[in-house]
A and B are shown apart, each in its own frame.
Chain A
Amino acid sequence: MTEKLQWAGEKFMREVEARSGARVSSCLQCHKCSSGCPIGPETDLLSSQAMRMIHLGMEEELLGSRGIWLCASCQTCSARCPMGIDVAGVMDVLRMMAVERKAALPDKARGRHFHRSFLGSVRRHGRVFELEMMAIYKLRSMDLFRDMDKAPKLMKKSKLPLLPNRSRSAGEVRKVFRNARKEEER
């Protein structure tokens, strides 16, 4: 009897490739991305490991990792990849998938609260209103006391205005958010 070989990871990998436009399958595991990664000491997921885990279809491990939220989007990996893979673009897609699939988000995934708080502020005012964004982020993440000494320092330098700097095109921005939501629901 002949056994049929199956590549369990292919579906997930093709999905990541289609969405990011990056040819993850061409990764040759040279580790150039990982050696230049600034969050190497803190992360649980080096970029070259992430590429291999995509090959192997390890969706749950990837989407539940701290590393995708610790990625600073510095683009070093994308710039240095000898195969031209946009590794940072792949990280974007993994973050989106983690939120969409409500993957077991680790406690270091505070990034998702930051992104939501930031974009909410942009939707309301057309521009980010930092004081409001930070207050909402703190409440969402319950990460209340981190860096509390920074706000008064910034205020003293007039760097944290008390009122939003609203764009007169805020209505157009709301329309873009509405259209983007409709698009995602389709």
Chain B
Amino acid sequence: MRYAFFPGCSMEATAWDFGKSARALFKALDIRLEEIPGWVCCGSTPAHSSSEGLALALPALNLQKAGAMGAPVMTACAACYSRLRAANHRIQNDPESRKRAEQLTEKPYDGGVAVHHILDVLVNHVGRDVISSRIKRPLRGLRIACYYGCLLSRPPGIVAYDDPEHPSCMDGLLELAGAETVQWPFKTECCGASLAITNNDVVNRLVHRILSMAALAGANCVAVACPLCQMNLDLRQDDARKAHGDFPTLPVLYVTQLLGIALGLSEKDVGLEALTVGADKLLAGAAR
């Protein structure tokens, strides 16, 4: 298996631990990730909120480059995944959009490059058998609330490879790794995303709601697969507590960090030192 890897801007900055753990995990699984040379920003929310053209053309530029590599694209960032898939969908289904993307990038593109999220690849391409056969350090004592957020789940038809209202693929993976997962109702609630920059009061309320529910459901940590979800839920716990009342402190880890540890990688290999709420105590129980 070989993938054209689209890291996205966050993976080299605010979510470097996600990038590092994703790469380390795939190395441990003997799967080749080749970074798309000269990849550029997907445009994210600012592009689709302000320019239809940029929202099509920035993803298209990346997909054209991946097309030249002859491998399907894999990305770990939920927002990049959503933007690449949304642009592909429009280019495939609307001839006007295709023409527009080609005019803006000055290169042909038919929307034909497949784009997968890392969870999709782990569950549906790598598969449960391979993953469970490689578990070296079961995640004993972990009761995980799997938090999928918005952009892995919605809109269905463009992004979803799982149930859009009640996804379970991350739960399945972490159960293979020896953890317990909790049933809870806020798996796909929004964390407020980039409102953290402009309206952090909204995000503090949402973080409080999501983490309180995770704790009420019996979780002792949260697993995520999106850089913005991780940053909001990890970095803003004190603010959420101050604004809306107490709830237990919960480590918020990337699914790739948790799986990496279960596959025998070290804390450093998966960048655990980058967490604001540390996970040392949590992982102390996991068998070496």
What is the minimal beta-carbon distance from A85 to any residue of chain B, in angstroms? 11
Q: Which residues of B in the span 149-174 have a Cβ within 8 Å of any Cβ on A?
A: 150-151, 153-156, 164-165
Q: Contact at B105–A165, with CB atoms within 8 Å?
A: no
Q: List 22 A-B contacts (CB under 8 A).
A: A19-B52, A38-B189, A42-B201, A70-B202, A72-B202, A74-B193, A75-B151, A79-B153, A79-B155, A96-B49, A99-B50, A114-B46, A126-B40, A127-B40, A158-B16, A159-B13, A165-B13, A172-B38, A172-B61, A176-B104, A180-B53, A184-B51
Contacts A119-B50, A119-B54 given; does A130 touch B13 at CB 8 Å: yes
Q: Contact at A159–B150, with CB atoms within 8 Å?
A: no
Q: Contact at A183–B48, with CB atoms within 8 Å?
A: no
Mask, B37-74, CB within 8 Å of A = 1, is 11111011111111111100110010001000000000
Q: Contact at A41–B205, with CB atoms within 8 Å?
A: yes
- How many residues of chain B have a CB within 8 Å of chain A? 61
A95 close to chain B: CB less than 8 A: yes
Contacts A70-B195, A70-B199, A79-B154 given; does A130 touch B14 at CB 8 Å: yes
For B188, list chain A residues within 8 Å (CB). 76
A126 to B45, CA, bound (A): 16
For B58, list chain A residues within 8 Å (CB). 122, 173, 176
Mask, B7-23, CB within 8 Å of A = 1, is 00100111110000000
B103 close to chain A: CB less than 8 A: yes
Q: Which residues of B in the span 238-286 have a Cβ within 8 Å of any Cβ on A?
A: 273-274, 276
In the complex, what residue of chain B is closest to A156 when comparing beta carbons? B276
Contacts A122-B43, A126-B40, A173-B61 given; does A42 touch B51 at CB 8 Å: no
A170 close to chain B: CB less than 8 A: yes
For B1, list chain A residues within 8 Å (CB). none
- How many residues of chain A have a CB within 8 Å of chain B? 64
Interface residues of B, dominant DSSP:
helix
Interface residues of A, dominant DSSP:
helix
> A interface vs B, CB < 8 Å?
19, 21, 38-39, 41-42, 69-70, 72-76, 78-79, 86, 88, 92, 95-96, 99, 108, 110-116, 118-119, 122, 126-128, 130, 134, 137, 141, 143, 146-147, 150, 153-154, 157-161, 165, 167-170, 172-173, 175-177, 179-180, 183-184
A70 to B49, CA, bound (A): 12
Q: Contact at A72–B274, with CB atoms within 8 Å?
A: no
B132 close to chain A: CB less than 8 A: no
Q: Contact at B46–A119, with CB atoms within 8 Å?
A: yes
B206 close to chain A: CB less than 8 A: yes
A96 to B189, CA, bound (A): 26
